[in-house]
Structure 1
Amino acid sequence: MRVYGHDHTDPEQGPLPGREYVELLGGPLDGQLYDVTDLSPAEQRDGALLITEQGAHGPGGRADYEPGNQAGRWEWRGDMP
């Protein structure tokens, strides 16, 4: 699995030991992992607006992901400019 923020050609694009990740479900980043190791519990509850090139608003747009019903997985809520 690829970690969000790593180029697909990066040889170290996978998860690293000792880090905590959530899986992104749906939307333009579906299937990628997002590193939440340095996020506080409150930040993790809020989710994240992640920059993406593939979203509805094109390069620089953001995909909104929030914790879903399953632990360790964040669900896509839509795209934002």
Structure 2
Amino acid sequence: MNGDEQLLRGRVYGQDHDVPNPGPVPHRTYATLIGGPLDGLLLDITGWRPEEIDGGVALSTELSRWPGGRALYDPRPDESRTPGPGVSCRFYYSGDTP
């Protein structure tokens, strides 16, 4: 694991690394990002409808194949989801896009 990857682990996507508490907070719902440049980050999906979760995400990152591009993450349709706050599902890396 390189330094960038260590910096990201356990942090919520979109939170700056120098924020006093860049980790998850109570009463929010998260997806864990698995694989790719954002491996180990949590994505806040609080308030997302099931069809929004099913659609996956394209997340901006300087760590993708194309700096300033997007890393693509999708849930697996056969995995269960836990309703309510905390980590409810996982999104898996499926590639990069400029």
Q: TM-score, normalised by structure 1?
A: 0.92
Match of 1:63 in 2: 71
Question: How big is each residue's C-alpha offset from its partner over 1:27-49, in whole Å with a ceiling of 9 and x where there is no partner?
Answer: 01000000011211100000100
Match of 2:5 in 1: none
Structure 1, unaligned runs of 5 or more = none
Structure 2, unaligned runs of 5 or more = 1-9, 81-88
Match of 2:25 in 1: 16
Distance in 2 between the 1:70 and 1:32 partners? Answer: 19
Please tell me the root mean square deviation across aligned C-alpha atoms, in Å: 1.1
Bigger-Rg structure (1/2): 2
Distance in 2 between the 1:53 and 1:70 partners? Answer: 29
Which ranges of 4 or more aligned residues in structure 1 deviate by more than 6 Å?
none
Match of 2:90 in 1: 73
Distance 1:19 1:58, change over 3 A: same
Q: 2:44 matched to 1:35? A: yes
Question: How big is each residue's C-alpha offset from its partner over 1:18-74, in whole Å with a ceiling of 9 and x where there is no partner?
Answer: 000010000010000000112111000001000001000112x00000003544111
Equivalence map 1:37-56=2 (5 Å): 37-56=46-65
